[in-house]
Amino acid sequence: MIKHAIEHTPVSKYIYATSRSSIIIRIRVARSNIKECKLIYWPRDIENKKFRNCLYMKCKNRDDYFDYYEIEISFPKVARYMKYYFELTSNDLETVYVSAHGINEVEPKDGYFDYLYTNENDVIKLPEWAKGQVFYHIFPERFYNGHIDKNHRKYVPWGSKPTRDNYMGGDLKGIIEKIDYIMELGVDCIFLNPIFEADFNHKYATINYFNVDPDFGTNEDLIKLVHECHKRNIKIVLDGVFNHIGVNSMQFKDVLEKQENSKYKDWFYITRFPVDISHHNYECVGAYKWMPKLRTSNPEVQKFILNVMEYWIVEAEIDGWRLDVADEVDYTLWQQAKRKLKSRFPDIILIGEVWGNASKLLQGDQLDIAMNYVFRDAVKDFFVNNIKPSEFDARLNRMLAEYHNEVNEAMYNLIDSHDTKRFLFECNDNKRIFKLAAAFQILFFGSPAIYYGDEVGMTGDNDPDCRGAMIWDEVKQDRDIYQWYRKLIRIRKDNMAVKRGGFYTIVCDDILNQYGFLRSKDNEDIYVIINRSSSKITTYVPLRNGEYFENLLNYEILNSVPLEKDDRFYNQDLLEYSRKLAIQLNEYSIKILKKRMEEFV
């Protein structure tokens, strides 16, 4: 047994509440090393060993080094006062016991793990609507100009090369005009980059959080936009830029004017008075002197921000906030946002912008989900940089094992954004690769987030090129890509296994460069097989008698042949199978196969 791999500590990653009466317990062991993983548990006040429960745990995720076993257990009332330990038996039949005292060769007589009590706030519950839905991310200045009487001296023509300074005229009325387009694509929730009064076309240098920027319209336009979205059952999330503010905000201007006497001086990190923009003697976000960092640990600043967050939830009935550079903001602000806002408005969602591991923010006491750049990096490295399927799979599974299931179900899974190259550009404009990656994104566990225009084949390097004007002329759109997105989103929405089902790797072949996974919920199984290579391949999946597959992309029916003696399948024990299906895949192609059952009359 590889004992160095064994990990369980009684903290949230390894034991957490799913309701007041149920908990999930996890343990990590070495990959492919364990034959049996048992949880032994009992009420702490019962000494008699007869009353000990013993349950077999299942491997839920597998990365390059580890298997993550998991089990959910239920209690009649409140989950509490439980003692437990693990019994692991390796493939070479060594048995050890894992307790709070570490790894024991003999059954422990004390030093058990304890689970004490589930309070209401221990239960991590995300809004149901947020799970498995489709986000659509809009950079407002570049989506659609619905406000035709603009002063044209300020604007370059729609579709001009985007720069950091130019304006093309996108606005909220434009989004309202195009809301049916968004609905038809199948979007469930729009995320808008900043729309409040601010400098720059990106509006990240906020002047006033309580006004929609005149470039984009009025507060009434925002209220109307939310109303039009809600009429169509579309949610809408705004960009909360609270890590920093603009130099032209009332607060920072007051500091510039009154210096040490300003009542806002402790809203910032001033390194030296007199403050002067040209001297850069205050902390900024990155090196952007136009965006002084707010001192988000200051209770006054926290009160102000919480007030802004609440204001728009009440005033415009928005459905949540995406929080800019969430991991640079003082965490006590997010703890209060969670406690104060989510108790009053349990159905809103709080999304953090995080580029790496987001687990600090996603323990249940701060934000709900994060923009999953770790997902994007893995997708890019597999589809563009050609890492091996096994490495891709390891990175995905490690990522899933890092967060609670509840969080993974709603995670904002993007492949690009206003802060990255367009994914088609990453693909060197290779459409076949792009379509594979987009399909993977839409079929993966969680909530796919589509950056506006990706669905019509927009390309472009990082900012400013990735912020081009949306292509509305159907002749200039890539209609093939558009139909691809439509079809995949349709498949997600029509199949609960894709929308909300579990994720299990079933094909992971470094030699043939193919990758496949199962999405499964209740009796619905959907197999997705991706051929990432430049050759045609045939791959096999096992089936039971009477099962066959339908390709959801073209309604083709695939039939099976009997299993052969030497057949082996990734992650699948063949005991229950008797047949196999040969799946032929062209180079750079995907099949989405729904398992069907012959109906015997």
Residues assigned a catalytic role = 324, 353
Among 81, 158, 167, 472, binds a second copy (CB under 8 A): 81
Q: Contact between 110 and a second copy (CB under 8 A)? A: yes
Among 32, 119, 483, 535, binds a second copy (CB under 8 A): 119
Angle, in degrees to the nearest 10, between helices 373-383 and 431-443: 140
* Shortest distance in whole angstroms from residue 243 CB to a second copy: 9
Residues 358 to 417: which contact a second copy by CB under 8 A?
A: 359-360, 365, 374, 377, 394-395, 398, 402
Among residues 100 and 185, whose Cβ is nearest to a second copy? 100
Q: Contact between 65 and a second copy (CB under 8 A)? A: yes
Among 32, 53, 74, 121, binds a second copy (CB under 8 A): 121
* Shortest distance in whole angstroms from residue 404 CB to a second copy: 14
Q: Contact between 30 and a second copy (CB under 8 A)? A: yes
Among residues 121 and 538, whose Cβ is nearest to a second copy? 121
Residue in 137, 174, 136 with CA at minimum distance from that of residue 155: 174
Among residues 297 and 430, whose Cβ is nearest to a second copy? 297
* Shortest distance in whole angstroms from residue 307 CB to a second copy: 18
The residues that bridge with 547 in the sheet, in sequence order, are 597
Q: Is the dihedral of CA 232, 237, 239, 240 positive or negative?
A: positive
- Token digits for 555? 């309604």
The amino acid at 327 = D
Residues 82 to 101: which contact a second copy by CB under 8 A?
A: 100-101
Phi, psi of 387 (to 5 degrees): -65, 160
Q: Contact between 296 and a second copy (CB under 8 A)? A: yes
Q: What secondary structure letter does DSSP report for 569?
A: B
Q: Contact between 4 and a second copy (CB under 8 A)? A: yes
Burial 40-79 (b: 16+ CB within 10 A, else e): bbbeeeeeeeeeeeeeebebbbbbeebbbbbbebebeeeb
Residue in 369, 367, 372 with CA at minimum distance from that of residue 449: 372
Q: Contact between 266 and a second copy (CB under 8 A)? A: no
Q: Are strands 412-414 and 320-323 parallel, antiparallel or unpaired?
A: unpaired
Among residues 254 and 402, whose Cβ is nearest to a second copy? 402
Q: Contact between 311 and a second copy (CB under 8 A)? A: no
Instruction: Give, for 397, the enclosing helix (H) or strand (E).
Output: helix 389-402
The residues that bridge with 88 in the sheet, in sequence order, are 37, 96
Phi, psi of 587 (to 5 degrees): -55, 145
Q: Contact between 43 and a second copy (CB under 8 A)? A: no
Among residues 343 and 586, whose Cβ is nearest to a second copy? 343
- Token digits for 7? 């990990």
The residues that bridge with 557 in the sheet, in sequence order, are 550
Interacting residues of 412 by C-beta distance below 8 A, sequence separation 6+: 135, 322, 351, 369, 370, 371, 372, 446, 447, 449
Site string for a second copy, 500-519 (x = CB under 8 A): --------------------
- Residue 44 and residue 49: Cα distance in Å, rounded? 11
Q: Contact between 66 and a second copy (CB under 8 A)? A: yes
* Shortest distance in whole angstroms from residue 10 CB to a second copy: 5
Residues 323 to 352: which contact a second copy by CB under 8 A?
A: 325, 327-332, 335, 339, 343
Number of chain positions touching a second copy (CB under 8 A): 64
Q: Contact between 272 and a second copy (CB under 8 A)? A: no
Q: Contact between 256 and a second copy (CB under 8 A)? A: no
Q: Contact between 105 and a second copy (CB under 8 A)? A: no
Among 53, 160, 271, 545, binds a second copy (CB under 8 A): 271
Residue that is written with structure tokens 């096999």 in the block: 540
Residue in 138, 199, 137, 205 with CA at minimum distance from that of residue 171: 138
Q: What count of other Cβ atoms lies within 10 Å of the Cβ of residue 121?
A: 12
Span from 6-14, 90-98, 215-223, 533-541 in contact with a second copy (CB under 8 A): 6-14
Q: Contact 570/508 with Cβ under 8 angstroms?
A: yes
Residues that bind a second copy (CB under 8 A): 2-5, 7, 9-12, 30, 45, 63-66, 77-78, 80-81, 100-103, 110-111, 113-114, 116-117, 119-122, 269, 271, 283, 286-287, 295-297, 299, 325, 327-332, 335, 339, 343, 355-357, 359-360, 365, 374, 377, 394-395, 398, 402
